[in-house]
Chain A
Amino acid sequence: MSRALRKALLIAGVTLVSLWVLTPIYLLLASSLAGRLGVNAWPKPLFPAAPTLEVLQFFFRVEGVWKATLVSLQVAAMTMLFSLLLGAPRAMRSPATPSPARTPSASWCCSRAPSPSRSSPCH
């Protein structure tokens, strides 16, 4: 396979996966920007004709939204804090488990010379 073809295939693959990830998120965003009528519109337009923040503004005015957001933030912060407090000492205790992927390269680069490879665990 020629180098150009390989590059084209790579670009096509990366684009395809990126579209697979981003399209559903875009569609949800487009739906939320389509306004109250747009939510139930049929057929659904791919691009909202007159984007509006009406639905989002309505959402943020619903009672409890900000309170729920605050609770979510508190839970997230506490989870991170407790994970760090419990995990950090545990990580200090256990030496990195050698894996077959790591061992040869590690011994090579640490005993002889700095590895030129970017993938080396020493760099």
Chain B
Amino acid sequence: MARVLERLMPYLLIAPALIFLAAFFLVPLAEALLVSFRGSGGTWGFQNYARAASDLNFTPALRNTLILVLIAVPLQVALALGMAVMLQKVERGRDLVLWIWTIPLGISDLAAGIVWLSIFTERGYLNSALMAMGLIGSPMSMLTYETPLALFAAVALAEIWRATAIVFIILVSGIQLVPKEYGEAAEIFGASPWTRFRRITLPLLKPSLQTALILRTILAFEVFAVVAALGGTNIRVLAGEAYAWQNDNQNHGVAAAYAVVILALSLAATIAYLKLLGEKKGMRT
């Protein structure tokens, strides 16, 4: 009896998580997939996808989301990597620095959007500063439909500010696992700090980088509240369109089609990261 229980124990321990995932992730996922393929008359097919794709906002939403991911994610990873390396070198006040740098992690998407709204709005701090420096004569609009570049830059900045902390935390925990002996040995052999970083820290940080990239890219594809706070419907993103079709247009089929498109993009990015940054067989000893 004891042996049976021992053999069953691993399955019993993972059972709650599996049941939870099945009930609250797999079932809704299957439901969303079914809804996305079910047309208005109960027929099955790609009608919802065709309707989403033919919508005027689809292309701008897809383009904005993809560009945002392509700009924000690499910048965040580079910034977080720099921050993690700097933190390693900090001797005094390390905990305080870590605490300050992770503050945005505790701020919700919407609150972060509102924080940056106070800066970029017409009567905000940026216009006040530009005016004080004599660079502009009157307040400039930056978050309107007529200023897509400025609006996009504001959203990208807010996203980078808000979500770099999560990448940073993952990289800090990864960098702490890199044995110092390797760097010390390389230093003895005359390797420069840059070479040590490139040849020792970066390769050993690959698993953490992979996790950070996957997590961050998936979240970037889902960007919504920051965009809603800063630009409303002046800038279109996929998650915003899904929300609009679900709530404003009350068309659950097209909303589900948008959700499936976001899921497909996230899945494709995850697979790409796993392939590109995955360890080759035989690397581990």
Contact = CB atoms under 8 A, between A and B. Distances in A.
Interface of A: 10, 13-14, 17-18, 20-22, 24-25, 27-28, 31, 40-46, 82, 85-87, 89-90, 92-93, 98-105, 108, 115, 117-121
Given A13-B86, A99-B177, A101-B174, A89 B100 contact: no
B20 interface: yes
9 pairs of A and B residues whose beta carbons are closest in the complex = A43-B128, A105-B179, A89-B13, A44-B128, A93-B13, A101-B204, A117-B180, A101-B177, A90-B17
Contacts of A121: 177
Given A17-B83, A18-B100, A99-B207, A24 B115 contact: yes
Interface residues of B, number: 49
A119 B89 CA distance: 12
B118 A100 contact: no
By secondary structure, the B interface counts as helix
A28 B14 contact: no
Interface in B248-285: 279, 283-285
Contact of B123 (A24, A27, A44, A82): A44
B206 interface: yes
B207 A44 contact: no
Given A27-B118, A100-B203, 4 more contacts: A14-B90, A18-B97, A93-B14, A117-B180
Given A24-B115, A28-B118, A100-B206, A18 B123 contact: no
Given A42-B128, A93-B10, A105-B179, A98 B284 contact: yes
B132 A24 contact: no
Contacts of A44: 123-125, 128
10 contacts: A17-B83, A21-B100, A22-B103, A28-B115, A42-B128, A43-B128, A82-B20, A99-B207, A115-B179, A119-B178
Given A40-B123, A100-B283, A17 B179 contact: no
A42 B20 CA distance: 52
A17 B174 CA distance: 20
B139 to A, nearest CB: 7
Interface in B186-232: 203-208
Contacts of A92: 13
B127 interface: yes
B181 interface: yes
Which of A21, A82, A101, A115 is the most central at the interface, judged by chain B CB atoms within 10 Å of its CB? A101
A25 B118 CA distance: 10
A119 B183 CA distance: 12
Interface string B1-23: 00000000010111011001000
Given A14-B90, A18-B100, A27 B13 contact: no
Contact of A117 (B17, B86, B115, B179): B179
B103 A25 contact: yes
Contact of B180 (A13, A100, A118): A118
B116 interface: yes
Given A14-B86, A99-B207, A24 B179 contact: no
Contacts of A27: 115, 118-119, 125
Contacts of B204: 100-101
Which of A28, A82, A98 is the most central at the interface, judged by chain B CB atoms within 10 Å of its CB? A28
Contacts of A24: 115-116, 118-119, 161
A8 to B, nearest CB: 12
Given A25-B103, A40-B123, A100-B206, A10 B13 contact: no
Which of B10, B14, B132, B203 is the most central at the interface, judged by chain A CB atoms within 10 Å of its CB? B14
Contacts of A115: 179, 181
